[in-house]
Structure 1
Amino acid sequence: MSYRGIPAGYEDDPDFSCISDMVQKITVVPDITIAAGLNNENFDRTLSADVDNWFQNYKEQWNSYKRTPSAQHNLKVMLHRDPDPLLLALKLFANCPGCNNLKNKNLALFILETICDLHTQYPEISAKCSDNTRMVAFNFVKTCGIVSLYKSVMITYQLNKICEMLVPKIKELITQGHFKDAAYWTMNLQITHLFGIFDIIFPLILQDKVPLAEMYLNAAKDLALPTVQFLDSLLDKQKTVFEHCDEILTKYEYKDVKHTVLTYRPMSKLVTRLAKTYKIDSHFTPNLNFTKACSYMHFLWHKYRDGGMSCDAYRELARDAASTKPLQMDLITNVASYGEFDEVKYWINYFNIPLEEIAEDIREDLKRLQPSENTDEIQMLNTSSNETTSAVNNGGATNKSKRANATIPNNYLTLALPIDCVILIDDRVKFHEMLEYLQGQLLIAFDSEWKPSVCNENVISLLQIATPYRVYLLDCLSSQLSDELWQQLGQRVFNNLEILKVGFSLHQDLRMLHKSLPLQLNLNAKTCYLDLRELWRRLKYLQIVKFPFGCGSNSGGSLCALTELCLGKKLDKSNQCSNWANRPLRHDQIVYAALDAHCLLQVYQVIVDILLGIGLDFDEVVNEVTTGKTGYLFRMKRAFTEHNNECSTSVPDKGNIAKVPAVSANFAGTISTKFICDRMLYGLSKELRKLGIDCMEIIKDNLSHYVNIAKRENRYVLTRDTRYDLFLKILPQTQCLLIPNDTSVEQVLNILRLLDIKIYENNLFTRCLHCNSNEFILALRHELQVMRYGQALDDVKELSAGNVSPFERTFNLLNVNQDVLKSKTTYRGKPIKLNRINSHILRSKEHFYICDNCGICTWDGAHSIHGSVMDLILYNNCETDTAAGF
């Protein structure tokens, strides 16, 4: 233990230790009235005798009741009676003990908020406000840190009238390191033009207050471009970001600098963010462009080394990205760092870089390599990439192969068409022939490709349209294809309701088509588009669909995964990331593009056969998916389950599927279906509880505990991903529901339909959203006010639970007694969360429901149910009433 201020040898002396304790408790509090007025004059906070007596009594009441409406009313009355309410408010403020440190429960803050609220009601009270009063108001709150108060005080005291006098004060704040406060004052006073980058914006960035810096730039738009250019200059790799800033930090003596900001990655992210926000052209950020290009080339190299790209695709994109000498040198250095010196030789030769310009260590490594048996190896590497085996003339095949799949490995899917059936569309004649052919089709598939871009927006380079016997590759970069031709394609094919267009993740493709081509798409005509990904997602809910090469429950959501399930082979994606803007296209690019569209039709046909094989009407399924509705699939799911249950009863040997528990909800009764929801589905459990459904949550990894509950109480387990397989090993399949990655509302809708759960109005909001309990305490408005403020605020007669009846609901409801009022706890001893209720709610609502298990308070209207869920509930209730003969 250290003893400050005590002579050596006297540490144990009680007299000295007492003095030490006193010294440590002394805190110097500055007097805010000193130099608070104009010309640094002191502010006189003396109150008249009457006001002082009133204020002493008021402070005693404040200590008991704090922020109550009656306290604010009494203060407003006192202020409004005074000839100069704004001045009186400042005097009262200066006489409060907490005026130096404003907090939410602070009387000083309450006084300023009240005078601002009074000014809103009576703007004329500011008529007698002097410039000295304005300066005092500014000095009192200038560094309190409460942003909302800054604006309120500025409006109430009309600080814009003394802007010129406040500029030196704001510069003083900057000197003292109060950059946040200075930023808000300059924005509120609209004087951002008087301050530069290094006054406010850059210091905010150094303090990692980027959102505030962006807000400031929104007010000072003329500083956006200079700021981005300056920050981009810090990305020059000749020095580190900190070294670039060293001179500036010394000059301006910035305080509280977050040095993690002064590193390359955070700064490059910031420049990217600001450039995008303020739409600054990329040529203003050369260093950022260099960084992006380097990162992009490194990404391409890793993708190529990992087998995700072909050599030709990698070299095409890398050649295009390495557009400057520094980028070329970075590419060579990066490749050499992996020891791939054959590739280093290729790039040195391709860029024609003299060996003396190459780093010495790379030159030494190249010299140590054994000479190649082929002396022309580098030249061959160079010329091989320029050879094109993909020239497709007049829609025909290449001279090298009559089949499209000459180089595709056996473990990948191959194109089921001759290459003669892949037709390149790059002129008007071919385009019109294609239109005539496509108009006679009832089913087509489409996909699109674009060149990856580092700094510019992506634009579609190739559009693939597949029929069962042909694939058209439309060259979107061809100058011979006019806007008029693209409009005809949109009108006669894409907007044609008689042609079903099949795709995968259609939202992205349609968005890109709409942005890149003048097709004039009718994006509201969703009924003529079938998204196989959406169809697959819905089939996952059923858990009865068996794909030829797997169940698909835990497979990924990619087209590659779907083709493997349906066709037994994956797609070769090595040409997906390639230069689609290059002409002519390579042979393997053409094969990949054609296969990417044509395989959609193959997958479509497999799914058709699967659904027809289990008795589903595929037209109904397509109508359900394309219109965005649900119902048919789940009706057939129930029919299928009932059929299997009947079979399992009559034929014991086939009783592999456990019988689904009966699901029902009696009117004015609780819902019998119960769930256990995995922790990653928190939103789903909350939505189910809104409907009054018993839904426990898995909050720890002791799965055996929850499995025992599921078995004992016959609960469904809601989960996804690998956790589904884990539960499936322990529980029957019909008791485990695999939940796809949808929104919580979609998940609820599908569960209600799947299990045919009927919800009635008296079930709604009968469970605590926080803890799932259905035991509540009914508290009336005045009872909650007594618990919160110590007294009832409303001038109403004393009410009891018997006088006012809440809406009838299916939950256990208790009444408040004196023990609850005094202890402010539930019957189970849980503290009642009174502070979570806004004061205006306590004045406007009559009933409150307190969860007896956790103390959370709610009321009618505190939560809402999504409209689509309510529509389903009302629809099911109407069906039930009709069946009952009402």
Structure 2
Amino acid sequence: MAQDNHIFLDIIKCMIEKKKYKEACQYATLLSLQDNFSIDDFLLPLVLQDKLFGVDEFLKVSVRHQNELVAFLDMVFGKSSVRDTMVEYVGQHGIPEVKFDKLHSKPWKKLIARLLKMFKLPSDLTPNFNKRRNEGALNFLLHKRFIENSFGDESWKEMVQEAVGDDEELQKELVYQVAQYGDVSEALRWAHFYSIDKKDWPYNVRLLEENPDGNRPQQKLNQQQEEESWDNEIQPIEQIEYHKLTLPENAVHLVDNPSMFENTGLQDIDLVGVDCEWKPSFGGHINELALMQIATRKNVFVLDIVNLGNKVPHLWQELGKFLFNNCDILKLGFSLTGDIHMIKQALPNLNFSQKQVGFLDLCTLWKHIDRFAKVKLPYEVQKGGPSLGSLVHHCLGHPLDKSDQFSNWERRPLRKSQIIYAALDAYCLIQVYDVLKRCCEEVKFPFDEVCYNLMTNEKANRKKPNKVTNKKTLELSKSGYTSASQSTLGVCTGRQIKIVCDTMLQGLGKKLRSCGIDCVILDNHEDHMLCVKYAQDERRYILTKGFETFKMLNGYVQSGHCLKLISDVVEEQLKEVIDYYKIIVTKDHVFSRCQACNGNSFVKISRSTMDTLVNLSEVKTCPPPPCLYEDEATGFSSEDEYEEVVPPPPSLSRKWDLYPDEKIDVGLCQTRLGQKIQVKAVPKPILSKYDFFYVCEECGKIYWDGSHYERVLSGRLQGIVQ
């Protein structure tokens, strides 16, 4: 088909005439027919319909269309109104289902930035986008310098040059704006720096150039007016005392070569502060990690990523193993998500664990502690949002000096003030942690337990607490504290509890998934100790059958978090778990998870889409999945192995995520997560029997409606489902 692809051109053009843009785009991609179409045929219509999945796939192999599409979007962005321009375009081409709420500058700008970043396109392709971005960057920098007064001189100079670049109009705007803010001498300095023609200088800048002593009548009048202005009657700005680094200077180590990296003194530690720095990009370019700071109680190591890069992969691997993937070392950060993303992107050799073991976000901890009135931090602060500087002020008495925050962190050599700033940002995390712990312990707040719960299951803290059901929890609640580990032993739904089954309970694990319970199942070759890792990283309860295994695993988790099952029958084991943890399972929970992979996101596809998938799938591309449960000794019941089922169409209270079939790539026979859809595993008689099928997004397994649902409810799950 790919060799004779030209014979399908007329069919695809017919699809375009019928406004079937998604299908036309998919088939053009599948048959490598990109060169036969323009961006007007289906790419721009799909953009206007906000259906970018197929567009991305099409563009990946066509640089010409990448450039043409982005150039067109930039041209529209330069117009006075994106909406007015595109409304006219939509009318001319008769495009249906347009998302008009997206036809504004902000989403349009985000789309251009996304495509530039995704395909690494040259910046000269988007002059209007660049100009608008740089104008915004300049205004931001002016505000930080003259309104917030939070810019150091060197950082100000670096970042202005970065934002203005070679744009002569922006250079003139910089001089004008700085003069407007009243710093005429600074405006004159920039006028000379950029060699701006004197005819374009503001009047007061020309005056200062001609009479630097300020003795001209007009200059004296301006000075007198400023002195008499009521704005100057306010009290002088109070000098702020900032928090200082208490470590000696020789305790701050700039690690910028392999030899220093190899000899860093990271030994015998159980606590570090971690922070990162990168050059602000103002949305134009990809942010790249420049520094990573690791603070201990005695030293701070500032790792120069620009110089080290990935030149020493073995040293990064050692650091990852010793520190970042070591749950015995507590790693402190503030708003960690951004830092961790940058570290993973820049340093793949760290082999960063997806579980992010042993990380504690002090921002999240602070918000959690702040809900309890009994915990009082040492210093009252009237202003400031949830920033690190504000938290340092609350705990240590003085805010952080952020004048070097917006610096060109990629420029070398680094200034001394930058190195000290970076070191303090990491070291203060340890100081703040100590203060928070002391304040909590003084009022008997369960600090260690809260930290443990935040590290192992951060998302759970956003949920509403479970209803208090026992005396101890009630007492803690009255005193102002609650314990997540104690409350989960009360009544909970199948959606709220998470479980890990060891290798002896694979059949039970499958049954738990059929009840909608999030359950990880260890494979035969996996070690029992992996259960502990799941329990700690994802706050799961451990289920085991062996007595010796139970004794071993139970010693690593809190009381009640590891359960030894008595029965050898899967149905009775299920009853034991439901009763012990007081789990409520309703009809809406049953079959709401994929029994093969534990996922709960499904795509609902029609019979016609299913037929298309079957026809397009190549031989042997989607083989039937192997049996996950190998023998009956594990508790596996084979009775329902060959009937793939889901309940009838879901109600509004359904406990799974259901998506329309536009969320799959029909041409590639894949889910949006890149998983092959297992069409070959569905028996042919089933294909013509049912109108709808359900595809697991995470593994591609296919389910369908059947009588099995009612039989299970009235059979093996009778007495379990409420």
- Interval containing the TM-score (normalised by the shorter chain): 0.5 to 0.7
* Equivalent residue for 2:271, pick from 427, 433, 443: 443
Residues 89-128 of structure 1 correspond to what in structure 2 (within 5 A)? none
* Equivalent residue for 1:514, pick from 337, 344, 347: 344
| Structure that is richer in helix per residue | 1
Percent identity over the alignment is 27
- The Cα offsets for residues 580-628 of structure 1, whole Å up to 9 and x where unpaired, read as 1223333432332222111111112112323433446766565554444
**What is the rounded CA distance, in whole Å, between the counterparts of 1:170 and 1:456 in structure 2?**
37
**What is the rounded CA distance, in whole Å, between the counterparts of 1:364 and 1:473 in structure 2?**
47
* Equivalent residue for 2:71, pick from 230, 238, 241: 230
**What is the rounded CA distance, in whole Å, between the counterparts of 1:570 and 1:579 in structure 2?**
23
Residues 105-184 of structure 1 correspond to what in structure 2 (within 5 A)? 163=8, 173=17, 180-181=19-20, 184=23
The alignment status of 1:320 with 2:162, answered yes or no, reads: yes
What's the CA shift for 1:231? 1.4
Matched with 2:281 is: 453
**What is the rounded CA distance, in whole Å, between the counterparts of 2:270 and 2:420 in structure 1?**
24
Maintained 8 Å contact 2:278/2:288: yes
Matched with 2:134 is: 293
Over 3 Å counting, the alpha-carbon distance change for 1:220 and 1:491 in structure 2 is: closer
The alignment status of 1:352 with 2:195, answered yes or no, reads: yes
Maintained 8 Å contact 1:449/1:463: yes
* Equivalent residue for 1:306, pick from 129, 138, 147: 147
Q: SS at the partner of 2:165?
A: coil
Matched with 2:294 is: 465
**What is the rounded CA distance, in whole Å, between the counterparts of 1:344 and 1:529 in structure 2?**
46
Q: Greater relative contact order (Cα 8 A, min sep 6): structure 1 or 2?
A: 2
The alignment status of 1:601 with 2:434, answered yes or no, reads: no
**What is the rounded CA distance, in whole Å, between the counterparts of 1:594 and 1:664 in structure 2?**
40
**What is the rounded CA distance, in whole Å, between the counterparts of 2:370 and 2:253 in structure 1?**
36
Over 3 Å counting, the alpha-carbon distance change for 1:284 and 1:568 in structure 2 is: same
Residues 476-495 of structure 1 correspond to what in structure 2 (within 5 A)? 476-478=305-307, 482-483=311-312, 484-495=314-325
Over 3 Å counting, the alpha-carbon distance change for 1:598 and 1:201 in structure 2 is: same
Over 3 Å counting, the alpha-carbon distance change for 1:860 and 1:409 in structure 2 is: farther
Question: How many pairs were matched up?
Answer: 495
Maintained 8 Å contact 1:235/1:268: no
**What is the rounded CA distance, in whole Å, between the counterparts of 1:666 and 1:486 in structure 2?**
41
Maintained 8 Å contact 2:13/2:24: no
Q: SS at the partner of 1:461?
A: strand
Which letter does structure 1 place at the counterpart of 2:428?
Answer: C
* Equivalent residue for 2:252, pick from 422, 430, 433: 422
Q: Which moved more, 1:488-497 or 1:584-593?
A: 488-497
Maintained 8 Å contact 2:272/2:294: yes
Residues 546-625 of structure 1 correspond to what in structure 2 (within 5 A)? 546-549=376-379, 556-615=385-444, 623-625=452-454
Q: SS at the partner of 2:196?
A: coil
Residues 404-419 of structure 1 correspond to what in structure 2 (within 5 A)? 409-419=239-249
Which letter does structure 2 place at the counterpart of 1:610?
Answer: C
* Equivalent residue for 1:197, pick from 29, 32, 38: 38
**What is the rounded CA distance, in whole Å, between the counterparts of 2:26 and 2:246 in structure 1?**
65
The alignment status of 1:533 with 2:349, answered yes or no, reads: no
Q: SS at the partner of 2:393?
A: helix
Residues 837-876 of structure 1 correspond to what in structure 2 (within 5 A)? 844=707
Matched with 1:270 is: 111
Q: SS at the partner of 1:321?
A: helix
Residues 787-826 of structure 1 correspond to what in structure 2 (within 5 A)? none
What's the CA shift for 1:235? 6.0
**What is the rounded CA distance, in whole Å, between the counterparts of 1:495 and 1:322 in structure 2?**
42
Matched with 2:228 is: none
Q: TM-score, normalised by structure 1?
A: 0.44
**What is the rounded CA distance, in whole Å, between the counterparts of 2:102 and 2:299 in structure 1?**
55
Maintained 8 Å contact 2:25/2:58: no
Over 3 Å counting, the alpha-carbon distance change for 1:488 and 1:372 in structure 2 is: farther
**What is the rounded CA distance, in whole Å, between the counterparts of 2:60 and 2:477 in structure 1?**
67
Maintained 8 Å contact 1:187/1:219: no
Maintained 8 Å contact 2:70/2:115: no
Q: Point out where structure 1 has 5 or more consecutive residues left out of the alignment.
A: 1-159, 377-406, 646-655, 674-684, 689-742, 746-752, 769-837, 849-858, 862-872, 875-886
Which letter does structure 2 place at the counterpart of 1:581?
Answer: E
Maintained 8 Å contact 2:445/2:481: no
The alignment status of 1:545 with 2:388, answered yes or no, reads: no
Matched with 2:626 is: none
What's the CA shift for 1:525? 7.5
- The Cα offsets for residues 418-449 of structure 1, whole Å up to 9 and x where unpaired, read as 4444333334554455x2x3314343322121
Over 3 Å counting, the alpha-carbon distance change for 1:184 and 1:413 in structure 2 is: same
Maintained 8 Å contact 1:563/1:571: yes
Over 3 Å counting, the alpha-carbon distance change for 1:537 and 1:759 in structure 2 is: farther
**What is the rounded CA distance, in whole Å, between the counterparts of 1:603 and 1:666 in structure 2?**
33
What's the CA shift for 1:226? 3.7
Q: TM-score, normalised by structure 2?
A: 0.53
Q: Which moved more, 1:299-308 or 1:493-502?
A: 493-502
Across the aligned residues of Structure 1 and Structure 2, the Cα RMSD in angstroms comes to 6.0
Matched with 2:332 is: 502
Residues 717-796 of structure 1 correspond to what in structure 2 (within 5 A)? 764-765=585-586
- The Cα offsets for residues 518-538 of structure 1, whole Å up to 9 and x where unpaired, read as 652452685544433344354
**What is the rounded CA distance, in whole Å, between the counterparts of 1:449 and 1:644 in structure 2?**
41
Over 3 Å counting, the alpha-carbon distance change for 1:229 and 1:168 in structure 2 is: closer
Q: Point out where structure 2 has 5 or more consecutive residues left out of the alignment.
A: 216-236, 497-537, 541-560, 562-578, 590-690, 694-703, 715-719
Over 3 Å counting, the alpha-carbon distance change for 1:314 and 1:195 in structure 2 is: same
**What is the rounded CA distance, in whole Å, between the counterparts of 1:614 and 1:658 in structure 2?**
10
Over 3 Å counting, the alpha-carbon distance change for 1:551 and 1:374 in structure 2 is: closer
Matched with 2:576 is: none
What's the CA shift for 1:471? 2.6
Q: SS at the partner of 1:574?
A: coil
Over 3 Å counting, the alpha-carbon distance change for 1:234 and 1:365 in structure 2 is: farther
- The Cα offsets for residues 405-427 of structure 1, whole Å up to 9 and x where unpaired, read as xx995453222234444333334
Over 3 Å counting, the alpha-carbon distance change for 1:412 and 1:244 in structure 2 is: same
Which letter does structure 1 place at the counterpart of 2:388?
Answer: L
Q: SS at the partner of 1:590?
A: helix
Maintained 8 Å contact 1:309/1:574: yes
Matched with 2:622 is: none
Matched with 1:818 is: none
Maintained 8 Å contact 1:423/1:473: yes
What's the CA shift for 1:317? 0.9
Maintained 8 Å contact 1:301/1:314: no
Which letter does structure 2 place at the counterpart of 1:464?
Answer: Q
